[in-house]
Amino acid sequence: MLRELIRKWWQVDIGLADDSGSLVDDAWGNIPPSGNDFCRALLSSGRGKKKCLRSIREINAKLSASSPRQEAVAHVCHLGFGMAASALHARERYRGFVFACGFSSRELSRTRLVRLRGTVKEIGSPETGLAGERVPVLSREDVERMKDLLAYGAREMERFDRDLDFRQTLPSAKQPSALPGIVSRSRAMAETCKRLVALSTSGAPLLFCGADGTGKRILARAVHQTSTRRKGPFVVFASNGPAHTREIELFGHVRGGSIGKLGAIERARGGSAYLPAGTWAEPEIQVKLLRLIRENTIVPVGSDGPVEADVRLLLSHDGDFEHEAAAGSIRQDLADKLSDGIVRVPPLARRSEDLDELIRLFVERYKHPGRQAPRIGSDVLSLLKRYSWPGNANELESEIRTLLNLCPGGETITPEHVSLKIRQAVGHGSKPLVDALEKARDLKSAIEVVERQMIQQGLVRTRFNKSRLARQLGISRSNLLAKIEKYGLEKKSGRRE
């Protein structure tokens, strides 16, 4: 459907390449047929095809080297025509890209046409001939729409691969696959929960590694509640003071032979102690944590001897733990003790299947008491799902809380209520195009939505100059007039013909 949609509207076709930049699959094995006569002519010759393949490999180099991950990119081929591509990722690896090529951002001048004719003769074989001089012309808005479509197609492929793999690895009904109270419909979070369930009954320390805002503390609490220590306390160590103060607050302090202050470790006796990222990285604290893991004892500040501890350590880390251990900021012996208990917490960008449930959870948490929760329309949900959420679940929670404050009860939340940075990041102006593909699974209805949007925006752009718009869209003026009437886009006054 995606290929037919792009082909119909822009006379451009799409292709698929693997992570080496080679075209793949029998159905996709040829460079896509094109509405560009110059491209078609060159593809009939061996030298021309090699140059086209080189341009495709250049896109591969750009996408495979991009960090952070780019969803869609633009490129220029060896003939100077436009290319657009979107990366494909599966199982956390770059796998290739889907692409479109052979279009121009402006009408070709006579001088450029002459140069292109010369290039075709120079590169092609002696019998290479031009069937015409057609070149698809796409405005900047058209290119952005195409990139959105390619990104949508790539996400659909990734989702299919992820769902297929997830279905094949689902645990049996007798095996718990998730922790109580944790949203884990996504494959990434389901695997994390499965590992945590397996580790929850042991008394070994756990290290939650993940970006800020991914819910490491919530997972740690869930582990405590499903462990044999669930009847004991769950103590969260929170301290922003200097290293010496933090050491006292964590391990306690002894004055004159008697306990002057109980630390978080002793207050968690019989239960679990959670140490957030940034609270335990000082060398002095690491030494004492290593002793706690090895001997199950602590030495309070000012004490001459050890004190027995009965606690399970649950630690959190935001950065690259192995890299920091290799660099020396984390003691290697401590890193070795924690290595078997490392749990990777996925970012929200890898948990798209969890978004609906998380949104419902936050709406219930922050809706005004005694009032009906506002309705979140499908257009708002689509917008939220297309955002990458760099601040993870914390950012989503804050956004939902803000939306509920803007619409305290009974109203419908609209896209205009959503934060400007989110709307700008996802390209809210092209939302109807993506929505059409998500809602309408047949080609005809999808094309009609795109058709209406393009004509409506084109009329505004040309100030209702229908002759000019017909030329831009590549259709007859009578055909355009019929479509304007069909979609009710006729301007009531001040029309220009």
Report the C-alpha gap between 79 and 39 in whole angstroms.
Answer: 9
C-alpha 81: how far from its chain's center?
A: 29
- Are residues 440 and 408 located together in one domain of the fold? no
Q: Is 176 helix (H, G, I), strand (E, B) or coil?
A: coil
Q: Spell out the residues 6+ positions from residue 354 whose beta carbon is closer than 8 angstroms to its own.
A: 183, 184, 185, 186, 189, 348
Kindly state whether residue 36 falls inside one of the protein's structural domains. yes
Assign 311 a pLDDT band (cuts: 50, 70, 90).
Answer: very high
Q: Which domain holds residue 468?
A: 433-486
- Are residues 22 and 94 located together in one domain of the fold? yes
- Are residues 371 and 333 located together in one domain of the fold? no
Which CATH number does the domain housing residue 211 bear? 3.40.50.300
pLDDT tens readout for residues 256-298: 544 567 889 999 999 999 999 989 989 999 999 999 999 999 9
pLDDT in the model for residue 448? 79
User: Average pLDDT, stretch 452-480?
Assistant: 80
8 A C-beta contact, residue 79 and residue 103: no
Residue 349, burial from CB neighbour count under 10 angstroms (0-12, 13-18, 19+): middle
- Are residues 141 and 215 located together in one domain of the fold? no
- Are residues 264 and 395 located together in one domain of the fold? no
- Are residues 10 and 148 located together in one domain of the fold? yes
- Residue 243: which of 211, 198, 288, 200 has the closest Cα? 288
Query: Higher model confidence: residue 377 or residue 217?
Result: 217
Q: What is the pTM of this model?
A: 0.55
- Are residues 330 and 395 located together in one domain of the fold? no
- Are residues 157 and 231 located together in one domain of the fold? no
User: Structurally, how many domains does the chain consist of?
Assistant: 4
Kindly state whether residue 272 falls inside one of the protein's structural domains. yes
- Are residues 443 and 460 located together in one domain of the fold? yes
Kindly state whether residue 323 falls inside one of the protein's structural domains. yes
Kindly state whether residue 290 falls inside one of the protein's structural domains. yes
Q: Does residue 363 register a pLDDT over 60? A: yes
Structural domain ending residue among the three candidates 426, 455, 475: 426
Q: Does residue 26 register a pLDDT over 50? A: no
User: Average pLDDT, stretch 57-61?
Assistant: 89
- Are residues 342 and 354 located together in one domain of the fold? no
Kindly state whether residue 180 falls inside one of the protein's structural domains. no
Which CATH number does the domain housing residue 479 bear? 1.10.10
Q: Is 109 helix (H, G, I), strand (E, B) or coil?
A: coil
Report the C-alpha gap between 10 and 44 in whole angstroms.
Answer: 22
Report the C-alpha gap between 488 and 467 in whole angstroms.
Answer: 18
Q: Does residue 379 register a pLDDT over 70? A: yes
Q: Does residue 387 register a pLDDT over 60? A: yes
Task: Tell me the average pLDDT of the chain.
Answer: 82
| Cα atoms in the 13 Å half-sphere on the side-chain side of 208 | 30
pLDDT tens readout for residues 161-200: 655 544 444 343 333 445 878 998 898 999 999 999 988 8
8 A C-beta contact, residue 120 and residue 28: no
- Are residues 22 and 155 located together in one domain of the fold? yes
Kindly state whether residue 173 falls inside one of the protein's structural domains. no
Distances (CA, A) of 453 to 146, 147, 186, 425: 14, 16, 33, 21
Which helix (H) or strand (E) segment is 74 a member of? strand 72-76
Kindly state whether residue 178 falls inside one of the protein's structural domains. no
Structural domain ending residue among the three candidates 426, 450, 473: 426
Q: Is 393 helix (H, G, I), strand (E, B) or coil?
A: helix
- Are residues 339 and 360 located together in one domain of the fold? no
Q: Does residue 122 register a pLDDT over 80? A: yes
pLDDT in the model for residue 40? 83
Kindly state whether residue 50 falls inside one of the protein's structural domains. yes
8 A C-beta contact, residue 147 and residue 74: yes
User: Average pLDDT, stretch 291-307?
Assistant: 88
> Which of 50-54, 63-67, 92-96, 220-224 has the weakest average pLDDT?
63-67
Report the C-alpha gap between 414 and 366 in whole angstroms.
Answer: 18
Structural domain ending residue among the three candidates 346, 365, 380: 346
